Structure 1
Amino acid sequence: MYILAIETTGPLGSVAITDGAGNCSLKISGEEMNHLKDLMPMAQQLMDEWKLAKSDLSAVAASIGPGSFTGIRIGVSTARAVAQALNLPAISVPTLDMFKQRCDGMSLIVPIFNARRGQVYGGVFDEAGDDILQSGPYLLTEVFEAVEAHLEDVRSEMPCGMLQAASVKFYGDGVDAYAQELADFKEKMLKLEGCRVLNAPKDERYQDAGMTARAAVKKYRNGELISADQLLPDYMRVTEAEQKLKDGSLARERAAKMARFKAR
């Protein structure tokens, strides 16, 4: 088994190859938002390093979002094109769920991607990787509330009423975008004795194709394969342009611009 995995939902695109036996090689773009230019050269470099022919590949996996709308489109369309050209099955990997790989049996895992204006794409996963708050679009405050409510429930079940070395780890670019809000939340959570709220270190904070590849191996073994045509992006919400088109404001904006232009 050899799976080619593509991840483009964040600023740095990446590509990985895995053999499903624990071996995985990763290449990450050196420039932000350079997905279109870098993806296929990085994939070819990995193929050459592994001495693989295109016919050796078993499937193509893509991190489908949420994240950067443009990045998601590029990554998914590239994976579809490769799968179609090589007549390979595709594997769809939800991006937030990839962070369940970080579960260590002791910490709550909370990935948050910046969706601006106090909003995030996020989820809250327990020590075993089960959903406390299912992946989706939320206000950041809703994510905080889910974490706090869960920890309060856990504390109430403790004989001494105190958490025992519980920790919460935040991942994703939302950690950077909402640094002050996270600092305030950490301060608030000091009331729960025994609980630590942490920002994941930068070298493991963000999504990459290695995570996509590992998730894809599990899906491959479970038979969760789809056709290239079935590989679709998951934006989790419509783009601003699509929303404007839907509610008619895009047409009104264009009409207003034309009126201003004609008035010159």
Structure 2
Amino acid sequence: MNILAIETTGVSASVAVINEKGQIFEEYSTETLNHLQFLMPMVEKVLEKSKLQINDLTAIAASEGPGSFTGIRIGVSSARALAQALEIDCISVPTLKTFLYNIENYKGVFCPIFDARRSQVYGGAYKWGTDHSILQLVEGKAYMLAELLKLLKVVLEEGQDEVTFLGDGVEPYKAQIEEWQNSSLNSNIQVKFADAESRYQKSSSVAKLALELFNEGKICGYNELKPNYMRKAEAERKLDEARAARDKR
């Protein structure tokens, strides 16, 4: 059994192959926001690295989002096309939950946040369960940062003593998070920020979660694999606003 995992939701794309033993081979692009050009060459390289042929693949996993709208579309569309051509199943992998596999031995709360602009973030809060399951503490969706931090505060005050923020939202919102820590949290609650090595999306983490989902039977046909943007694109939002204004006339 071999799963190809595609990660294109961030600024840099990567692909990985994982087998039933959990052995992983990974290939990264050093280019940013140029996923379409480099994705398939990376697939070829990771298959060579793992000494597999494309027909040795059992399923294709795609990081479903949230993240870059264009990146999500590229990853999901590529996974669908490969799965259709190979006549194999797909695995839809929730991007926010993959961050737990970036730091698998961490016992605190994971809070991945992506900069969604307009003072919003895509985010959620999770932790490892005792059986290595993923526990959702705050639902993953689009939030105003203050709203997410308010929900996170409740979770932390219910008995959690440490939270680590990950994702590309750390850079633009770090100062606000530190201000929230100083003004709102008990002094015994620690707030940390993941280092560069573990802060961003990784196809190896997508692959690890994909293997768990595969073993649980959570697979789908290529036509059922859908992006999860978590909010409307800017063009769609403006179109809806224009329609609403027209309807009021």
TM over 0.5: yes
Match of 2:44?
Answer: 44
Q: 1:112-261, aligned counterparts within 5 Å?
A: 112-128=113-129, 129-154=134-159, 166-188=161-183, 192-248=186-242
SS of the equivalent of 2:187 reads coil
- Give yes or no for contact 1:132–1:146 (8 Å, CA) kept in 2: no
Question: Which deviations, in whole Å up to 9, do the C-alpha atoms of 1:178-234 show, x marking residues without a partner?
Answer: 122122123235x52322100011100011111110111011111111111111101
- Give yes or no for contact 2:5–2:204 (8 Å, CA) kept in 1: yes
Q: Name the aligned partner's letter for residue 119 of structure 1.
A: Q
In 2, Cα distance between equivalents of 1:26 and 1:188: 42
Question: Which deviations, in whole Å up to 9, do the C-alpha atoms of 1:25-78 show, x marking residues without a partner?
Answer: 111110110100111001101111222112211000000101000000011001
- Give yes or no for contact 2:156–2:162 (8 Å, CA) kept in 1: no
- Give yes or no for contact 2:25–2:49 (8 Å, CA) kept in 1: no
Q: Name the aligned partner's letter for residue 172 of structure 2.
A: A
Kindly tell me the number of residue pairs found equivalent between the two proteins: 241
In 1, Cα distance between equivalents of 2:219 and 2:127: 27
Match of 1:72?
Answer: 72
SS of the equivalent of 2:158 reads helix
Structure having the higher Rg:
1
In 2, Cα distance between equivalents of 1:67 and 1:6: 14
In 2, Cα distance between equivalents of 1:82 and 1:32: 23
- Give yes or no for contact 1:103–1:109 (8 Å, CA) kept in 2: no
Give aligned-pair identity as a percent: 41
SS of the equivalent of 1:248 reads helix
In 2, Cα distance between equivalents of 1:114 and 1:250: 27
Match of 1:53?
Answer: 53
Q: Superposition RMSD on alpha carbons, in Å?
A: 1.9
Shift of 1:249: 5.9
Question: Which deviations, in whole Å up to 9, do the C-alpha atoms of 1:126-150 show, x marking residues without a partner?
Answer: 3523111111111111121122112
| CA spacing shift, 1:251–1:45, aligned 2, 3 Å | farther
Q: Name the aligned partner's letter for residue 112 of structure 1.
A: I
In 1, Cα distance between equivalents of 2:151 and 2:233: 26
Q: What's the TM-score once normalised by structure 1's chain length?
A: 0.86
- Give yes or no for contact 1:124–1:146 (8 Å, CA) kept in 2: no
What are structure 1's unaligned runs of at least 5 residues?
A: 155-162, 253-264
Matched, 1:107 2:112: no
SS of the equivalent of 1:142 reads helix
In 1, Cα distance between equivalents of 2:244 and 2:54: 44
| CA spacing shift, 1:216–1:194, aligned 2, 3 Å | same
- Give yes or no for contact 1:244–1:250 (8 Å, CA) kept in 2: no
Question: Which deviations, in whole Å up to 9, do the C-alpha atoms of 1:72-126 show, x marking residues without a partner?
Answer: 0011001111111111111100111212334646311101011112211100113
